Amino acid sequence: MPIRVLDSTLASKIAAGEVVERPASVVKELVENAIDAGATRVTIEVQGGGIESIRVSDDGAGIPVLDLELALERHATSKIGDENDLETISTMGFRGEALPSIASVSRMALTSRARGTEQGAYVRSTGGVLERKGAAGTSEGTSVVVQDLFANVPARRKFLRSPAAESSRIHNAVTQIAIGHPHVRFNLISNGKDTFSSPGSGELRDVLTAVYGQETVQALLKVEGTDKDGRRVSGFASSPSLTRANRSGINFYVNRRWIQSRMLLQAVEEAYRGLLMEGRHPLVVLHIDIPAVEVDVNVHPAKREVRFHHDGAVFSAVQRSVRECLVAHSPVPLVTARPAQPGAAPSGWHSPPAPTWGGQGSFQTWPIPPAGRDSDGTDGSATDTEHEARLPAGETLPALRVLGQAGQTYVIAEGPQGVYLIDQHAAHERVNFEKVLRQVEEKSPEIQGLLEPLAVELLPEQVQTLEEWRDTLHDFGFLGEPFGERAYLIRGVPAGLRNASPDQLLGEVLETLQQAKDTSQALESMAASIACHSSVRAGDTLTHDEMAALLRQLEATRSPHTCPHGRPTMLHLSASNLEREFGRR
Ligand code: ADP
Ligand code: MG
């Protein structure tokens, strides 16, 4: 075929793909337009996951009657005039692409009345072709209705998930924007039901409460910092006791725009260094306010990424303000993974006692040092012990003999190289974790059937996750079937459940699956959840035989030294250390 310039309708249909991927991206664009128009109230109503219809109305500045038709044209925008404006973008939109793109793949009605004018107007189009226009009696502000999305692009329509799944993406899109704009009042109504509203009080804390719930927000620490050049970082960060299995709880807003940034993620991780267990991530919401000239937002069609002119400065502003907040609020001194310094009070145990955050358990992992620490003649200086604290991976346990139980939490045992304190829960978790994974691999889960099937109600995104991972859930021993649109009948769960109800376990596993980055992480996190809930807990009294059996099973595991979350399963007091501490050597 010879080269030709595409006609404009076809060109916008193709370009629409970049901006309008699914209903949630339509909602995002329309809501951002409302914000750019200075709205204080934005109402979003969707039907059928937004595939049937989306209506976004606002009380913003509105569009003058004469401009209305123009708003549907490609590259028509009121937000930038010339190239220089690109350097200092303060609005969410600026490309003039959203309305024409959305219009080209739907039926659209745009109704608006500019602030201070008497009369409003509307335009209506199908597939981007103007069909009707006229006067409209309407209040000040704008409302956009989008129906039958992708009806004329079957390839894209096929790509959409179930209405429930699309609804949940819309929910995420709206909450994401709401967090960026605490002064705007948002209302999301899905199939006639109120599903989210933010108060518009101007307080970030209030929006976060609407999104994450009171309890979570109470556990957040306030972050606040401004560097010498006026770059401001503010928001909230979780104390190290509140963590998630992935990074989805870490969110950045640069000049109120939600963005993805590997660099900023690293800055946060750096701030939390040494405070979180391996594989756990904090909940962090940060507003980064910097002069518009220092950031380029024009690098991604959906504007999800930005470029900073001073990467390093932004990195350290974020890292420092979060770290300072954590240090200032930390209920216990920050401890590094080093045993006591030489000359300090005797510390026979190779590892310092695990400090706790609000009773949630240790936040640091201390692998068991090898027994031969003293035999090399060093004085155990911090550097040496830190070096030695790493046990070669895969090292097996010696045979251990149970001596007793301490605090109904630790098994005390003796081996050829000294005394061991074993955390009964962590040890049992390790045993169960490997067992579950083995059963999954062999496709022979031990299932505990329920006498009466248990009906549970699910959120739309949970229904979606269940569908998506049905076979895997089955491999793990979850039996059941959908019951109506929003409920599920649990008929069986993995055997051995001790400290969670079947519905709790299912809920937790679904959350894990939603957050998993890939299949292998999903399998591991699921196995860890199941292991955790089928293990003895701290506080359970164990008989001598039970403890002996636990140690035999632990010896047989592949990684006996850590639990699936990376906590140590045991501490070791070596025979040579004992001799030294008692002055026998
Ligand atoms: P952009 O937001 O990049 O300018 P859009 O295609 O999203 O491009 O919108 C085109 C223009 O239509 C905007 O520049 C603005 O002038 C006008 N507009 C769109 N939505 C609204 C709204 N809710 N209120 C006021 N004006 C709007
Ligand atoms: Mg826009």
**C-beta of 58 in contact with ligand 1 (< 6 A):** yes
Which residue has a Cα nearest atom 7 of ligand 1?
98
Q: What is the mean pLDDT of residues 241-269?
A: 92
Helical segments of 479-573, H only: 502-515, 519-533, 544-555
User: What's the rounded mean pLDDT across residues 315-334?
Assistant: 77
What tokens were used for 147? Answer: 């129906």
pLDDT tens digits for 493-521? 999 888 888 999 999 999 889 888 788 88
Give the residue, out of 59, 92, 99, with the most ligand 1 atoms within 8 A of its beta carbon, to mutate for a pocket test. Answer: 99
What is the residue with the minimal CA distance to atom 17 of ligand 1?
71
pLDDT tens digits, residue range 409-420?
999 999 888 899
CB 494 within 8 Å of CB 433: no
37/25 Cα distance (integer angstroms): 18
User: How far is the centre of ligand 2, averaged over its atoms, from the C-alpha of 77 (Å)?
Assistant: 8
Output the residue whose Cα is nearest ligand 1's atom 14.
77
Q: How far are the Cα atoms of 119, 125, 199, 240, 479 from residue 134, in angstroms, in the given order?
A: 11, 12, 35, 58, 58
Residue nearest to atom 16 of ligand 1 (CA): 78
Q: Which of 304, 311, 228, 229 is nearest to 266 (CA)?
A: 311
Span from the CA of 323 to the centroid of ligand 1 (angstroms) = 40
Rounded mean pLDDT, 374-378: 33
Strand 570-574, strand 418-423: pairing = antiparallel
Instruction: Supply angle C-alpha 403, 405, 411, rounded to 5.
Output: 75
The answer to whether 194 touches 43, Cβ cutoff 8 Å, is: no
> What is the model's pTM?
0.62
Contact 23, 149 (CB under 8 A): yes
Specify the pLDDT at position 18: 65
Distance of alpha carbon 350 from alpha carbon 417, whole angstroms: 13
* Ligand 1 proximity of 20 Cβ (cutoff 6 Å): no
- Expressed in angstroms and rounded, the spacing between residue 93 Cα and the centre of ligand 2 is 4
* pLDDT value, residue 16: 65
To the nearest whole number, what is the mean pLDDT of the chain?
Answer: 83
Residue 365 has pLDDT above 70, yes or no: no
Which protein residue's CA is at the shortest distance from atom 13 of ligand 1? 77
Report helix, strand or coil for 65.
Answer: helix
Please identify which residue in the block is written with the tokens 């600026």: 94
C-alpha span between 99 and 84 (Å, rounded): 24
How confident is the model at residue 540, as a pLDDT? 92
In this model, does residue 373 exceed pLDDT 90?
Answer: no
Segment 22-42 mean pLDDT: 96
Q: Is the pLDDT reported for residue 80 higher than 80?
A: no
Q: What tens digit of pLDDT does each residue of 448-500 get?
A: 888 888 888 888 888 889 988 999 999 999 999 888 888 899 999 999 888 88
pLDDT, residue 532, reads: 93
Q: Is the CB of 123 under 6 A from ligand 1?
A: no
And the tokens for 242? 């509140």
More confident residue, 550 or 451: 550
Does 139 have pLDDT greater than 80? yes
Q: What letter does residue 390 receive in the DSSP assignment?
A: P
What are 288's strand-pairing partners?
A: 233, 254
* 107: region left, alpha or beta (phi > 0 left; psi from -120 to 50 alpha): beta
d(CA 146, CA 20): 12
Q: What are the respective helix, strand and coil percentages of the chain, to the nearest 5?
A: 35, 25, 40
> Ligand 1 in contact with 59 (CB < 6 A)?
no
Whether 395 shows a pLDDT value over 80: the answer reads: no
In one-letter notation, the amino acid at residue 360 is Q
The bound ligand whose nearest atom lies closest to the alpha carbon of 97 is 1
Interval 304-330 mean pLDDT: 89
CA–centroid distance, 126 to ligand 2, in Å, is 19
388 Cα: distance to centroid of ligand 1 (angstroms) = 62
Q: Which residues pair with 124 in a beta bridge?
A: 109, 132
CA 214 to chain centre: 18
Residue 137 has pLDDT above 80, yes or no: yes
pLDDT tier for residue 53 given thresholds of 50, 70 and 90: very high
Among 117-121, 483-487, 493-497, 546-550, name the one with the lowest average pLDDT.
483-487
CA–centroid distance, residue 307 to ligand 1 (Å): 24
Question: Pairing relation of β-strands 107-113 and 141-147?
Answer: antiparallel
CB atoms under 10 Å from CB of 8, counted, come to: 13
List, in order, residues 6 or more apart from 223 with CB less than 8 Å away.
Answer: 233, 234, 235, 236, 237, 284, 286, 321, 322, 325
CA of 353 to the centre of ligand 2 (A): 55
- So what's the pLDDT on residue 107? 97
pLDDT score for 479: 92
Low-confidence winner among 180-194, 339-353, 489-503 (lowest mean pLDDT): 339-353
Mean pLDDT of 75-104: 82
347 pLDDT tier (thresholds 50, 70, 90): very low
Tell me the mean pLDDT in the region 166-191: 96
CB atoms within 10 A of CB 373: 20
- pLDDT of 406: 94
Residue 214 token pair: 């009171």
Q: Count of residues for the chain?
A: 585
| 12 confidence band (pLDDT: 50, 70, 90) | low
User: Cβ(445)–Cβ(494) under 8 Å?
Assistant: yes
Helices (H), 399-501: 424-441, 460-468, 470-476
Confidence (pLDDT) at 168? 92
- Largest pairwise CA distance in the chain: 99
Of the candidate ranges 149-163, 194-208, 388-402, 536-550, the one whose mean pLDDT is the lowest: 388-402
